[in-house]
Structures are given as structure tokens and as C-alpha cells.
Structure 1
């Protein structure tokens, strides 16, 4: 997910995307813990996507307030 895609979203859409990413991260961590995760790089990508979403949400909150 690119930052430009996130900037076009509303705050509610960003929150929804963040919830999806957090759920995906949880599932990936569980798979990793049980040895079922094949693509370990996906964990890193999801973690970075979460950071991107949170950064955009913070910027939106600061611009509104």
C-alpha cells in the first residue's frame, strides 16, 4: 500500500484499513509461531503498512485540529 493511496482515503476508511491490517498481523504472528508461515517477509510488510496508515491518520488529525 502506497502513501498516495492512503492520502486519498477518509479517516473512517483509514481506521477500517488499520483494523484489517492488525487482524492480518495477528494471523501471521500465529502462523509464524506454529511454523506454518511460508513467506516471513509478509510480516515485515504488514508492520510497515500499519505504520504508514497510522502516520497518515496522525497527519489528518493534526490538519483537522
Structure 2
């Protein structure tokens, strides 16, 4: 499991890849949950939270970059 601290240490490109992988994995889990029984149903929640963490960090960085840009004007 990836913690928020570990995610914050990642570069923007790594965060984007992590988000893409987590979204694909969540999609596969949702399909699997509809067609058959999941081995670990908590994986759905874990992946949703990982996606939320990554998106939160990305938006924080975007806001910080915007504030930085405003400060230089």
C-alpha cells in the first residue's frame, strides 16, 4: 500500500503512471466483481482511496504552481 508520504515524494510523471495503473486495476476489479466473486473485496476501497490520494496531491501541486506563478507576476 502506498502512503501519502510516499506519493508526495514521487515526481509528476510517476504520479500520473500510478494513477493510470490504479484506475485500470479498479476497472478490472469492478468487472470481476460483477461477473464473479472477488477474493478480497476491500481491494476496491483501497484502489479508490489510492486514486483519491493521487488526485489530491496533483491538485495541491497545481494550486501551489498557480500561487507560485501569481507571486512572480
State the TM-score, normalizing by the size of structure 2: 0.84
Unaligned runs of 5+ in 1: none
Matched, 1:64 2:65: yes
Runs of 4+ in 1 over 6 A off after TM superposition: none
Higher relative contact order (CA 8 A, sep 6+): 1
**How much has 1:36 moved relative to structure 2?**
3.5
**Rg bigger for which structure?**
2
Unaligned runs of 5+ in 2: 67-73
Q: How many residues align?
A: 65
